[in-house]
Structure 1
Amino acid sequence: MRRSRCLLPAVGLLLITTACQGGSSEPPRATTPGPATGTARMAADSALRWSPAVVWSGDLNSCRQGEAAATRDCLTKAMQAGGASADAVTAAGQLSSAGELAYVTAWHEQDGIGVATVAYPFRANTNEGTRLIDAGGKRIDVDTVQLDDTLRADPGVQALLNAHPQATPFAPARAAGGTPLEGGGVRLVYRTPLRECHACADVGQLQIGYDFDATRHFVGQHVVPTPAP
Structure 2
Amino acid sequence: MRHAALALFALSLAACDAAPPPATPAALAPAATATPAQPPADAPPPEQAPDDLDAAADGDLVVRADAVWQGDVSACRTGQTDVDDCLVSTMRAGGASPDALAATTRLIALGNPGYVSAWREVDGVGHAEITYPFRANTNQGLWLVDAEGRAVDVDENVLPAGAARLRSELKPFLEAHPDAMPFPPARAVGSEAAPDGGLRLRFDVPMRTCHACEDVGFLELGYDFTAERRYEGRSVIALREAK
Q: 1 or 2 for the larger relative contact order (CA 8 Å, sep ≥6)?
A: 1
Which one of 97, 100, 118 corresponds to residue 85 of structure 1?
97
> Where does structure 2 lack aligned partners over 5 or more consecutive residues?
1-29, 37-42
Q: Letter of the aligned partner of 1:222 in structure 2?
A: S
Once the 2 structures are TM-superposed, how far is the Cα of residue 49 of structure 1 from its aligned partner?
2.5
Secondary structure of residue in 2 paired with 1:222 = strand
Q: CA deviation at 1:219?
A: 1.2
Shift of the 99–113 alpha-carbon distance from structure 1 to 2, 3 Å rule, reads closer
Q: Tell me which of 135, 140, 150 is aligned to 1:128.
A: 140
User: Structure 2: how far apart are the matches of 1:198 and 1:226?
Assistant: 18
Q: CA RMSD in A?
A: 2.8
Q: Does structure 1 residue 161 correspond to structure 2 residue 163?
A: no
Q: Which runs of 5+ in 1 are unaligned?
A: 6-21, 27-36
**8 Å CA contact 1:147, 1:169 repeated in 2:** no
C-alpha offsets along residues 163-194 of structure 1, whole Å, 9 cap, x if unaligned?
Answer: 11101101111111211012100001111000
User: 1:199 aligns to what?
Assistant: 212
Q: Normalising by structure 1, what TM-score?
A: 0.75
User: 1:146-167 CA distances to partner (integer Å, 9 max, x unpaired)?
Assistant: 2433322334421111211101
SS at 2:96's partner residue? coil
Could you say which residue in structure 2 is the equivalent of 1:95?
A: 107
Match of 1:53 in 2: 66
- Measure how far apart 1:196 and its partner are: 0.8
> What residue is the counterpart of 1:172 in the other structure?
185
Q: Distance in 2 between matches of 1:85 and 1:196?
A: 40
Q: Residue 193 of structure 1 aligns to which amino acid in structure 2?
A: P
Look up the match of 2:11. none
Q: Which amino acid aligns with 1:84?
A: A
1:98 Cα offset (Å) = 5.2
Equivalent pairs, count: 195
Residues 44-94 of structure 1: CA deviation (Å, up to 9, x unaligned): 774553111111111001111152152x21111111222222221121111
- Tell me, yes or no, if the aligned pair for 1:48 and 1:87 is still in contact at 8 Å: no
The residue that corresponds to 1:137 in the other structure is 149
Report the Cα offset of residue 220 of structure 1: 1.9
> What letter corresponds to residue 175 of structure 2 in structure 1?
N
Q: 1:123 is paired with a residue of what secondary structure?
A: coil
The equivalent residue for 1:75 is: 87
Shift of 1:128: 1.1
Q: Is this contact kept in 2: 1:147–1:168, CA < 8 A?
A: no
- Which residue identity is paired with 1:127? N
TM-score with structure 2 length normalisation? Answer: 0.71
Equivalent position of 2:24 in the other structure: none
Q: 1:185 to 1:146 in 2, by over 3 A?
A: same
